[in-house]
Every structure is written in structure tokens, then in C-alpha cells.
Structure 1
């Protein structure tokens, strides 16, 4: 117990001296009369309570006090300025049962097993004596293995549930942190320095954390920065936000002033603008917070975020890797693009002393989707900017081999139904010339599959054939390209015109159209293989029927792939076909690019010819999907 008393005394003395030093620039002018004595004495506490007084209090309350509060009273019988909103904490003579005096149990009843358990408001002891309507309650019903009681605080102006601290000591440490936070903000506004042994120690830990982060020790860095943030140290939030954002966290990420610094704004503002646009927040809020020194950068970042045209362009050797990775990613080679970035990460260089990672990647519409949380951890664990450390184990690739993953997309996904053409020996950029809507067809800037489909829907009302398709394109493995449309509808075998025939001139092409039945009569699966402009084999499967065309290789025998009695909605046969195609032709489709990335797209020729005179057209099926 003596050791605990000395620990309390050292902590409370340090707090008192920091408080007194912070008041000196403002005292005695405007000083509250109650604060003059503790400022001069450099002590926020009171004389210690005797053991007899503590025992008398315990007899009155009918409880032995928890260790940390009991020892605190033996050092100081009460406390002034516990944080910014509790001006006086009770000593032995003023602690009392709360007995739900404010009627808060009606609003926060608590439940058994929850941190705030039922009955807390009635049984808790009230510690606040003078405060800004801040309740501080010590709960004898919430006890840990060491005998410590939990402390709960609540203020109506905070509009949040009661906050729990594991012990009185934990509460006091949090109030010391709150004092530091408020004093740091106040001193910054007043243009004066708030410095003491605590701030100097924390600032040294922030600098050490910066170097840890650059050396790949991001977890240790994050823990040190979190402690510094709790004390309001100015650099800590901007550094830790970079770590958080690369781990996929966006909530409250602001980079804390770095976005207002012309050195860092070109990288930080696009990340914030991207999140702003995703959440559809008011543009005025985004631009109004930007100072004049970076307002043009903020305007440009917001415009590019809306248009999807931001390009992350770092300085130094890392820039070449970024451009190479973008070239790979825009054609769907997501894993290869990440490998390119990963290999070059040691060459990345910061824009200034508060820059610890290439967070601008997050805002790049083509490269940003590569940064899964697992890859974000890998990036952060990779030593950068000349720092040394062990390279982390590579994160697993995101794209599975082959095509069968298409069957595993969630029901209702935009890829539940799809149609695609695979073309051998042709680059993706050449596909518009083979299956484009007309001779003027060109590739659009990269967009999501959802946006490509939305463009297709916008054209439907103008179509004479009822089948204006917009496909995304990319590479489908060594020597193959693909053009894929998600969520098609309106298949009519009588009017079907395979784009694979035209695409196969001088080469081979594979065409697939899958529209799972999902219990409806239009379900089907179509496969067509073409060479040099003509179909050489294929089949169409509908519920209960299989239509064959040409000599099919054994691996693509539909009787084996779709055994009798197997419902199309189960998609087992479809999986077998996709597995056989991947094996037969060595092809694959990039899952990450198709589900979360951006690819070039173009308008293809209709897949169904217009109805002949007197021929009834198929009924088009429109299914609205959300990205």
C-alpha cells in the first residue's frame, strides 16, 4: 500500500504543478478566488484523510472502499479540477449515495451482463460535488478481480451514454489527459506554449513512433500515438490517421491539420474528398474548412473525386512503380499491380516530416481498390523512406484462379447474371474494333462494373433492338482478353448473335451468357466457341433441355456437366463449365477488378438481333442492383 500511496502522490503532484504552470500566464488577472490558493501552493488536493476518517466513511457507507480510491484519500481528501468539467471531487466528508437522484435509471436502465448493469444509479456513490452538470459515480456493484469499482460519468450536454472507467485511478488518469487536451487547445488559440515534463516525454514518443511507422513497426507506432492523442499532442493524430486510413478505417480520419499544410495537402485532400463524395456530404462543408492557402487544391480534389479522375503521383522513384501498377490495374491485373507497388515500397519518400505512408493511393480510383485491409497492413509493415526492418510476409492474392468464382457471388449481386467474350491473342484495347457498336466506338475511362451497367441502362430507351450493351474489358490470363457485361437480360436463342464470331477473326473466342433461373422460366446458360469468324461448337442449357451445336470436346460435354434432374438455379453445372473452360483455355477473370475496381468499358454490338417482321421480341428483364 505504501508503494501505491507514493505512486498517487507523484502523479497528483505532477498534475498539480502542470495545472499551476498553465495558469501562471493568466493569473492573477481573471483568476477565480477558489483557484488562488491551489495555484500558489501548486497543489490541487487537500490534506490526507486519516485511517480513522476512512474507516468511519466505510462504516457509514457499509462498504470497504476500492483500493485505488481508498489510497487516494490517504494522499488527498478530495480533489479540485478533475479534468475540465468537474471542479471538485468529494473527500471523506462529502461522498454520498446517489440513489438515482436525477432519475437517470429511466433513460439508462442497464441490463444484466452489460457494462452499465441494472441498479447502478440507485447503489452508486456520488463523487462530484461541483461540476458543469457532470455526474461522477463509483459503482460498488461493478467490481473486478482486484476489488476495484468501476466509475461512470455522464453529462446531459454530451448527448451520449454514460462512460465507464475500470477504476477510480483509471478515471483520474483520463481526467489528467482531458486537462492536457483542453490546455493544449487553449494554449494554441492563445499563441503560447504549453510545455512540461509530460508533454516533452509524449512529444519524444511521437517522434519515435514516426520512425517506428517508417520502419514497418506500425502497431507499436499506433499504440504510442494513441496515448499521445489522449493527451492532445498536436502531431499524433495526423500521423495515426495515416495508419488508420491504410487499414481501411475512415471514421473521423481528418489528418488533423496536414490537409491544411501546402506540403501535404496535394496528398491528404484527395483522400478526404474521396470519402466526402462517397458519403454524399455537402460540398460547402468540405470547402469551407479549407484555408485560403490550399483552397485551389481542395477545389481540384473535390472535382476530381466527383469525376473519378484523380491520379496519385508521388515524387521520387516510387512514381514509376505507381504508373506501372496503374497500367496493370486498369486492365484488371490487380494482383500484378499490387506486386509492383509492394516491390517498390522501400523506395517511397515522404513529402515532409509528418508524412509516413503513401495514403494518396487510397484516393486513386484505379489503384485504391487494390488496398484491401490485409494489403494496407502489409504496406504499413514494409520499411520505407530509408528505414530498416524485416519485410512482412506477403498478403494473399485477391484474385482466385479461373472463372468459377462467378458462381459464388452473393445472390442479388450485380454479377449474379453475366455475359462475356474471351478472345485469344488480342489486347483489350483492340476489342472495340472487333465487337464495338460501330466504327466510332472507343474505350471510356475506367469505371466500376456498376457504372458501366448504368450506362447501358441509359441507352436502352434509344435502342431499336432492345439490347444496347456496355462491357468492361481487361486481360483474362496469358494471351487472352475479356469483355464482360454484368446483369444482362432478355436472352432469346432465336435472335442471339454471338459477338464471339466477329471477335474470333484470325483467332479463337469463347462466349458465355449466364442467366440463372432463380425459379423463373427464362433461366439459361449458353456457351459458344468460335474460330476465325465462325462458331465451331457450343450448347445452350434451359430447364429440362440441352441444345448442342458442333463437335464438343469431352471436357465441355453438356450431358456430363449438366446431369438430368439438376436445377439450373443450383448452378452446379455452371460451375463445372467454368472450371472446364479455365482448364481447357487457360483463362481467368479478375474478381477484385470486377467487384471493387475500375476498368475501361465500351458499347458493344447488340447480342440479340432486332425482331423480324411479325416476330415477337423477347421481354427484356430489368433488375436493379446496388453497387
Structure 2
């Protein structure tokens, strides 16, 4: 909107008429005149009165407030909480009358932002425009001015816990209050009040319908803009549609899918997404009414069951038709670590996806699936939304880049202090992942544990740990390591590598096949850090490389690309990277970084990586107990 008098007049007239038409016996005595005249404003202020105000204040007024006064010398019902807004006769300096600068933003220090500094001075220099309100301050700040001369408007109320809300100009503030008026009236209608219907609401509702088709056709940015405007006006369908776009873009703040959780048609798709976010934020807490706004008793009962499934990682998103079959195929790929292929499968099937009903824009329910949800990164969410669906025409976007680097060399690039800075893994040829427990498990276990995140898997493993520390059993994530290979990978081993006691689990696992064992810890000084690589076949070690500090040991006929020069810790990672790259080429193997760090993989607890103490040997266990005064 521009700030000409004519435009102000058109805007304010529309607002006044919509306000008057929305009154159904609930107006107060002071509203008799604006109801009779169908005008929330007042007669315009003359140029002389505006100049008198500027002379009294010692400032030229900002353009949008000045042009507003030339149309209406004040305003009634600015939004839902300001009943009278000042004109030329009642605008006054606030002069920190309530002493709020002490608390908002509080005492300034070296960490204070420029915004904090502006806010700290605002209370003492701002022009106060609220005359009658529900304790809501409306302050026009001459110290916060943009390039066009507009002063920022700040609003704040003691019943609002946040910092003051900032608007770039008086015009921006008035537009926001107009939207607030619409929001409140639309909310009343939704609660059974009188129908709120006018030219503006009908135009917005038509834009929501058009936005839905835009979204299905892949034009999600245009759809999101139209839906965001409709949300700001409180239109009933807009929030549920807009939240689907926001969630697929990775946004979770205030995503509630308003209206859809109350509809049994959509609850099965929408409710698990809200439950999954609840678990992420408050894992051990039960569901409250605000977690599923408007949900029926039946939906809440189902949500309790879904809550436990999501906590245990067993929830499964389902869909109908070809897309549903792609979901199952993608889940099978993801559970073994091939998340890029899983995403390719979903993406290829997106044109076949069909909505449950008109309020459904995209397969947002994928976000709740423990295996598939992590695949929907913000970039992939954009790719999903940009892909035409449900038979709608549109241009297919170019595919986004895969998330997994090739091969193994990326392991040497992991920064110190991160999850994969140290690691150990076993590769087994010709054995599918489900068979690994029979080869490497520490007991009679023949089945893998359910897929888990790295954190959850480790916490469960530690809770169940009851073996002597020397045993050094590993909880390994299991998956496919390329054509014909499986992996068992442990990030951040708790024990250090000791070649005198090390027993590779790959030896026993190699009977009838071939295995590769790698153990790496980054160097911290001239004596620490190690890299071990060994290859076994049919129960025998074929060759091995062990590098520690400035010493390197090679056993057997080590291929030249896998040899590790004794150059010392300063080149340790460089040589490690080269050897890992050669290892990947030699055997055609890879490890899935994304699944190992952000996905869910099956796990198995291996047999000990160290031998038991021999005759005359002992070990020391140190247990740290928190001190309580």
C-alpha cells in the first residue's frame, strides 16, 4: 500500500464498513456514533493543526502518520486492544512513564545488539499514540527512522511476555491492526458466532483455493505467500494448508495444522507429525490438549498409541496406491543406510501421490516416520513441494544433490570433537545385514535390534551393559556397504586401541568369506592416535596395517595403495584419507554418512574387540561418582 490521502481514504473506509457490518448487538455505548456513521475515523486534521502538532513536538511527523492525519484525525478500534488512537490533539511524548526501560530490554552490556540499544532508548523518546486501550502501548519512535523518514512503531502490553513488537512505519502498524480485526472476527465465527463475510474475506478465500492448486502444481512459493496473507487475516482453511508447506520446509515453530486434527479424514496423516514433534521436544512427557488442538477423543486415544510407537521407533507412515508402494520400498532402503536411494524412490513417485481430501497438499506425514522423516531435509522439502503432484501440471524441478559422499575417505575429514572423529567398523563380503548377528554378535543373538538413532542406541546399550570393561564390546550400526558388502560401524569407541590385546571380530566373521576391519582415533600428540586396517579371509588374517605416532607396522602382503608411511601425527589424517580412498576402490565399498549421523539403523552388539587378561595381567576400573555436599 502507498501512503497517499486517497489510498488512506479507501483503506479506512473499507475497514470502517467491515467493522460496522460485523457488529451484531455486541457494540458498546461509545460505538453508537461509528455504527451510525459507519466510520471509525474522525474528520481530517487541517494542515495548520498538523503543523501545530509538529511545532509542539519539535519534530516533523513521519510521512505515513502525517498523511493519515490529513484523512482522519485519530482512529477507533485499531485492532482488538486499542479502542482510541491519538490524533493531533492527544499525541504526547511517552517519556518512559511506566519505567519500562529498566526491564525491556534490561541493562545493556557488551553482548547487547543494536536492536537492544534502540529499544532501550525508545521508551524515553517515543510519541505515545494509545489513548484508550487494554493496557497496550502504541509508541512512535523518532529514534528508529528508515531511509524514507518513517518512524518505527512499537507495541507492548504487560499481559504480553515478549519484547515489544516492532512495525516499520505507522502504515505498517495500521495494516497489522486491520488484519488483527479480521483475525478476531474470523475466530468468533469459527466458535459459532455470526458469520464474518465481506468482499475482503471472499477474495482471501478465493486466494486460498487458488493457492492449493498452485501448491499441488509445484508452485509452492506463490502458494505459501498467498496462504501466509490469508493466515494473517484468520481465514479458516489457510492455517492447515500453510502449515503443511512450512513443516516440509523444516519449520516446526507454531505449526499446529489448525482445523485438520479435528477432522478424522486428515488425523491419521497430521496427528503423527504433531506427536513426533512433541517427542522431539519433550520426550518423556505425555500429550496435552494443546499438542493436538481440536482433536476428538478417538484421535487422542490413537495419538497415545502413536506416541509410544514413535518413542520406540516403530511407527510407520502409510499411503495408498503407487506412492504407498514407494514409501515401503524407500523404508527398506533407509533401514540399511541407503538414504539417497530411498529419497530417489520417493521423489520418483511424487507425481503419483494423491491427497486424502481438498485440505491435503503434500505427503507431510512422512515427517513422522522414524526412518523416512530424517530424509526430508529443508532442501528436499523444497524439492518435494516443487514437484507437481495429484495430476496437476507443472515443471519438475532438477534433483537436489545427494547427501552421502562416495566411498570412505570422508571419514578422515570429520572434525575433532564430532561424533565420527574416531570410529571403528567391520565390512563383511557376501553377507546380507540381517545375517551379521550370527557372525559377530557377543552371545546367541541372531536378530538385529530395531532401528535407532546413534544417541538412542548408545543409551540403551549402556543401560544394558553388564560385562567387564576389558571386553570392550561395541554397539554397531548395521547396514549395506555397497554391492555385496555389509557393515557394522561404531562411532566414538569408548576404549582405546591396544595392539597387544586387540582381537579383530573380523577374523571369526571371515570364515567362508572376506572381512575388512578398521579402527581409527585421531592423533592429539606425538604418541597418541592410531589407525588400524586388517583384511581377513576364511578365518585367517591376510594382511594388516597399524600406524601409531611415528611407528607403522605392516603384516602380510599389504597392497601398495594401503600402506601407511611412518611420517608422524602431523600427516596422520592425510595418509588415513588416502588409505581409506584406496580401500573403497579396492573393494567397491562405501559407508553412509547421513544414516550414521542423522538416520536410524539397526544395531548389534559385537563380541569383544579385546582379549581377556592373561596370566599375570590385570586391569583397573575407575568409576566416577558425583559428589553431593
TM-score (norm 2): 0.93
2: CA distance, partners of 1:112 / 1:413: 31
Establish whether residue 305 from structure 1 lines up as the match of residue 286 from structure 2: no
Q: What secondary structure does 1:129 align onto? A: strand
1: CA distance, partners of 2:299 / 2:278: 17
2:54 aligned partner: 58
Distance 1:427 1:545, change over 3 A: same
2: CA distance, partners of 1:319 / 1:538: 47
Deviation per CA, 1:48-97, whole angstroms, max 9, x where unpaired?
Answer: 22222222222222222222222211211111111111111111211122
Establish whether residue 103 from structure 1 lines up as the match of residue 99 from structure 2: yes
1:20 aligned partner: 20
1: CA distance, partners of 2:587 / 2:411: 17
Q: Using the TM superposition, give the Cα deviation of residue 377 of structure 1 relative to its aligned residue in structure 2, in angstroms.
A: 0.8
Establish whether residue 93 from structure 1 lines up as the match of residue 89 from structure 2: yes
Do the aligned residues in 1 keep the contact of 2:422 with 2:521 (CA within 8 Å)? Answer: yes
Distance 1:421 1:119, change over 3 A: closer
Establish whether residue 524 from structure 1 lines up as the match of residue 525 from structure 2: no
1:127 aligned partner: 129
Do the aligned residues in 1 keep the contact of 2:261 with 2:292 (CA within 8 Å)? Answer: no
Q: Give 1:153's match in structure 2, choosing from 140, 152, 155.
A: 155
Deviation per CA, 1:28-56, whole angstroms, max 9, x where unpaired?
Answer: xxx41111111121111111222222222
Do the aligned residues in 1 keep the contact of 2:475 with 2:603 (CA within 8 Å)? Answer: yes
2:225 aligned partner: 223
1: CA distance, partners of 2:123 / 2:444: 77
Deviation per CA, 1:361-393, whole angstroms, max 9, x where unpaired?
Answer: 111111111111111111111111111111111
Q: Using the TM superposition, give the Cα deviation of residue 196 of structure 1 relative to its aligned residue in structure 2, in angstroms.
A: 0.8
1:144 aligned partner: 146
Q: What secondary structure does 1:80 align onto? A: strand
Q: Give 2:556's match in structure 1, choosing from 540, 550, 556.
A: 550
2:8 aligned partner: 8
Q: Give 1:498's match in structure 2, choosing from 492, 498, 504.
A: 504
Q: Give 2:36's match in structure 1, choosing from 29, 34, 40.
A: 40
1: CA distance, partners of 2:621 / 2:541: 26
Q: What secondary structure does 2:463 align onto? A: helix
1: CA distance, partners of 2:307 / 2:365: 14
1:193 aligned partner: 195
Q: What secondary structure does 2:471 align onto? A: coil
1:156-167 equivalent positions in 2, closer than 5 A: 156-167=158-169
Q: Give 1:250's match in structure 2, choosing from 243, 249, 252.
A: 252
Distance 1:112 1:466, change over 3 A: closer
1:538 aligned partner: 544
1:566 aligned partner: 569
Deviation per CA, 1:154-209, whole angstroms, max 9, x where unpaired?
Answer: 21111221222111111111110111111111222234311111111111111111
Deviation per CA, 1:134-168, whole angstroms, max 9, x where unpaired?
Answer: 11122223222222222121211112212221111
Q: What secondary structure does 1:327 align onto? A: helix
- Which region of structure 1 is more displaced relative to structure 2, 420-429 or 80-89? 420-429
Q: What secondary structure does 2:596 align onto? A: helix
Distance 1:540 1:77, change over 3 A: same
Deviation per CA, 1:110-140, whole angstroms, max 9, x where unpaired?
Answer: 8884383553333322211111111112222
2:438 aligned partner: 433
Q: Using the TM superposition, give the Cα deviation of residue 464 of structure 1 relative to its aligned residue in structure 2, in angstroms.
A: 8.0
2:183 aligned partner: 181
Equivalenced residue count is: 614
Distance 1:124 1:439, change over 3 A: closer
Q: Using the TM superposition, give the Cα deviation of residue 280 of structure 1 relative to its aligned residue in structure 2, in angstroms.
A: 1.6
Do the aligned residues in 2 keep the contact of 1:456 with 1:469 (CA within 8 Å)? Answer: no
Do the aligned residues in 2 keep the contact of 1:214 with 1:387 (CA within 8 Å)? Answer: yes
Establish whether residue 358 from structure 1 lines up as the match of residue 363 from structure 2: yes
1: CA distance, partners of 2:193 / 2:49: 46
Q: Using the TM superposition, give the Cα deviation of residue 565 of structure 1 relative to its aligned residue in structure 2, in angstroms.
A: 3.1
Distance 1:58 1:332, change over 3 A: same
Do the aligned residues in 1 keep the contact of 2:526 with 2:550 (CA within 8 Å)? Answer: no
Q: Using the TM superposition, give the Cα deviation of residue 620 of structure 1 relative to its aligned residue in structure 2, in angstroms.
A: 9.2
1: CA distance, partners of 2:585 / 2:621: 35
2: CA distance, partners of 1:605 / 1:105: 64
- Which region of structure 1 is more displaced relative to structure 2, 285-294 or 148-157? 285-294
1: CA distance, partners of 2:158 / 2:469: 64
2: CA distance, partners of 1:187 / 1:258: 17
RMSD between superposed Cα atoms in Å: 2.3
Do the aligned residues in 1 keep the contact of 2:231 with 2:239 (CA within 8 Å)? Answer: yes
Do the aligned residues in 1 keep the contact of 2:453 with 2:598 (CA within 8 Å)? Answer: yes
Q: Using the TM superposition, give the Cα deviation of residue 247 of structure 1 relative to its aligned residue in structure 2, in angstroms.
A: 1.1
1:607-618 equivalent positions in 2, closer than 5 A: 607-617=609-619
2: CA distance, partners of 1:229 / 1:296: 29
Do the aligned residues in 2 keep the contact of 1:112 with 1:118 (CA within 8 Å)? Answer: no
Distance 1:572 1:75, change over 3 A: same
1:262 aligned partner: 264
Q: Give 1:278's match in structure 2, choosing from 272, 277, 280.
A: 280
Q: What secondary structure does 1:141 align onto? A: strand
2: CA distance, partners of 1:467 / 1:113: 53
Q: What secondary structure does 1:571 align onto? A: helix
1:625 aligned partner: none
Establish whether residue 73 from structure 1 lines up as the match of residue 69 from structure 2: yes
Q: Using the TM superposition, give the Cα deviation of residue 356 of structure 1 relative to its aligned residue in structure 2, in angstroms.
A: 0.5
2: CA distance, partners of 1:620 / 1:107: 49
Q: What secondary structure does 2:490 align onto? A: strand
Establish whether residue 472 from structure 1 lines up as the match of residue 477 from structure 2: yes
Q: Using the TM superposition, give the Cα deviation of residue 572 of structure 1 relative to its aligned residue in structure 2, in angstroms.
A: 2.5
2: CA distance, partners of 1:449 / 1:101: 55
Q: Using the TM superposition, give the Cα deviation of residue 567 of structure 1 relative to its aligned residue in structure 2, in angstroms.
A: 4.2
Q: What secondary structure does 2:391 align onto? A: coil
Q: Using the TM superposition, give the Cα deviation of residue 433 of structure 1 relative to its aligned residue in structure 2, in angstroms.
A: 2.0
Unpaired stretches in structure 2, ≥5 consecutive residues:
625-629
- Which region of structure 1 is more displaced relative to structure 2, 506-515 or 4-13? 506-515
Distance 1:360 1:252, change over 3 A: same
1:503-518 equivalent positions in 2, closer than 5 A: 503-518=509-524
2: CA distance, partners of 1:98 / 1:218: 44
Distance 1:200 1:134, change over 3 A: same
Distance 1:238 1:293, change over 3 A: same
